[in-house]
Amino acid sequence: MSTQLITIPLSSLIRAEANVRKTGSHTDIDQLAASIEAHGLLENLIVHPVEEGRYAVVAGGRRLAALGLLKDQGKIEADHPVPCQVREPGEARELLELSLAENVVRAPLHPADQFEAFRDLQLQGLGAEETAARFGVPVSTVLQRLKLAAVSPRLLAEYREERITLEQLMAFTISDDIEAQEAIWFDLPDYSRTPAYIRRLLTRSQVEGRDRRARFIGTEAYEAAGGVIARDLFQPETDGYFSDSQLLDRLVGERLAAEAETLKAEGWGWIDVCHEIDYGHLGRFSRVRPSEHPLSEEDEARLSALATRYDELVSALDEDEQSDELDTVTAEMQAIQGGREVWPEDVKANAGAVLSLDYTGTLVITRGLVRPEDRQDDEKTARETRGRKKPNGADDSLSDALMAELTAHRTAALQAVLASKPDQALNALVFALALRVFHGSSSPCCMDIRPVITDPSHGRETVGESPAMAELARLTDAWVERLPQDPGDLLAWVAAANAETKLGLLAYCTARTLNVIVPPQGRLADACHRQSEFLAKAIGLDMTSWWSPTRETYFNRVTREQIAKAVAEAVSKRAAQKLAKAKTKKVMAEEAERLTAGKPWLPALLRPAAATST
């Protein structure tokens, strides 16, 4: 075939049937068009004449489409001169071979070379926005490539040799510390080199944006205080990493202190501040409740109007859509409803409040708490007062011995009659349990039924925020809301309650006495163990819904052999064998937590009786 190099008007060019590229012929045409506009046509089209004044493009179909796009956008004219290499018409086989050679023989640019080329353009003064426009790609793509080019040269060399994947290389961009990047990659065993684990190690001195403290303060306040947030260009959906944990802790402490001062101004006897909500800690307090006052007619009318508007706004919202008006309406409704509750000054003076943050970073204020020592002082005073008085109905003319004998007869009679009255006996049992559970073990009671309340979280830091303790806290609050505040009214309340309510209260009070905790350097009595297994089976207890293995709850507190055994059971023996090669127990525990996440694995002590031998 003879060849000739000429310029041909764009309007005289058509796509040849012999062009072999059929799939993806228009992929990324906008990028190619932007490049041609910025840099010109870097490679000639190969054409052959088909009729007078018209030429078919054998090689360069995408370039022809990009030129057509520029014409449609008004950036070039229809007669724009296009440099072409003209081949004389030949056999169909020769044209097909020519098109195939043009598409097959060329070698694509390695991604690492592309990253570094973008970096070199930046060093020579071409900004990210201009680069994006000249190559027809989003600015975010340019920034990602620049970030990849900034990774350790040793790691880029590993990537070129295909010893690092692109996903792993992307993970290293979360940090600009070249030494840390290299130390992590070359010190980690192969099985630990996951992108997620690399990110975790590079940000271990930072605070994740999903941390409760970060959510409580927010990015604006943190950055306004001089804090820096490292954001992952390859995971834009994440909240980034707060680089200065000490600054973040200071901001949290200052805001909580300010909230505490506001709360203290309400008149509470004491204020306790906890950075993390601990349901076990809250469970040690008894509760008092506010008085409920009726709203004024004006407030009732306003609340009704707000409720109507709230329903209208909610029904009009699409899923995940935000509404500033809905937030305003909700806040006003809560403020009006809060006016129903009034805390008497004497109640506030003898009680307190706890401020804490839940796992979402939301401030939680729990008011009306009575400390155990304050409750004991009140009970001691009540006992001393009772000790100075005769029993109700006592006859001052009778001796103490005779009164004891007579009341013993009355006790025997009460027992005999109550024993044949199941409904009344149920009232008495529920009353006695609820009295001691909610008002203390020293509260006066005519029945000597003494529940010993077990607090599973006492002295056990991983239990306080567990799902089970959160559920117990919810149940406790629900019963506190329903029961009368004055223990003197409790028996009448129980007697008036329906059977379902009494059985529910009985179940709660009974449950709080259950204790199957194995004591330190001891063992659970065999009878208690059998009883707990029977109960667990009867109620269908599934511990995987209440507990999962993490570094804090398990792996940091067992041996390397036990970690490997857990992974072998939860994942596979092969995974356990790889894990056993970890250099330190810390690395082993972290990887075990990752491997077992979401797996329904339990240590033998928590498995059902039938499963403990597997």
pLDDT at 67 > cutoff 90: yes
C-beta separation of 197 from 590 below 8 A: yes
Average pLDDT over residues 508-527: 69
- 174 or 396, which is more confident: 174
**Measured distance CA(5)–CA(12) in Å, rounded:** 15
For residue 49, what are the CA distances in angstroms to 2, 11, 12, 88, 202?
Answer: 12, 14, 10, 7, 61
Using 50, 70 and 90 to split pLDDT, how confident is the model at 80? very high
DSSP result, 552-586: TTTGGGS-HHHHHHHHHHHT-HHHHHHHTT-SSHH
- 296 or 47, which is more confident: 47
Using 50, 70 and 90 to split pLDDT, how confident is the model at 229? confident
Using 50, 70 and 90 to split pLDDT, how confident is the model at 567? very high
- 243 or 396, which is more confident: 243
* Backbone φ, ψ for residue 427 (5° rounding): -60, -45
pLDDT at 458 > cutoff 80: no
Average pLDDT over residues 445-468: 72
Percent of the chain predicted with pLDDT > 70: 79
**Which DSSP letter does residue 356 get?**
E
pLDDT digits (tens, 9 = 90+) for 14-31: 888 767 676 656 677 888
Using 50, 70 and 90 to split pLDDT, how confident is the model at 563? very high
- Terminus-to-terminus CA distance in the chain, angstroms? 77
pLDDT at 103 > cutoff 80: no
CB atoms within 10 A of CB 237: 5
Residue recorded with tokens 């919202």: 317
pLDDT at 223 > cutoff 50: yes
DSSP result, 413-461: HHHHHHTT-HHHHHHHHHHHHHHHHHH-TTS--SS--------TTTT-T
Residue spans of alpha helices (H) in 128-267 = 128-135, 139-149, 153-160, 166-172, 178-187, 195-202, 212-217, 219-224, 245-264
**Measured distance CA(106)–CA(43) in Å, rounded:** 12
pLDDT at 324 > cutoff 70: yes
Please choose, from the candidates 14, 195, 18, the residue with its C-alpha nearest in 3D space to the C-alpha of residue 91: 18
pLDDT at 541 > cutoff 50: yes
| Three-state SS sequence of 7-27 | EEEHHHEEECCCCCCCCCCCC
Average pLDDT over residues 325-354: 80
Q: Work out whether the CA dihedral 250, 253, 258, 261 comes out positive or negative.
A: negative
Give the domains, in start order, of the chain with CATH numbers: 3-104 (3.90.1530.30), 404-522 (no CATH), 543-611 (no CATH)
Burial classification of residue 282, based on how many CB atoms lie within 10 Å of its CB (0-12 exposed, 13-18 middle, 19 or more buried): buried
Mean pLDDT of the chain: 79
pLDDT at 13: 92
**Measured distance CA(512)–CA(189) in Å, rounded:** 47
Q: Is 288 helix (H, G, I), strand (E, B) or coil?
A: coil
Q: The whole model's pTM is what?
A: 0.50
Candidate ranges 116-125, 281-290, 513-522; pick with highest mean pLDDT = 116-125
**Measured distance CA(442)–CA(378) in Å, rounded:** 10
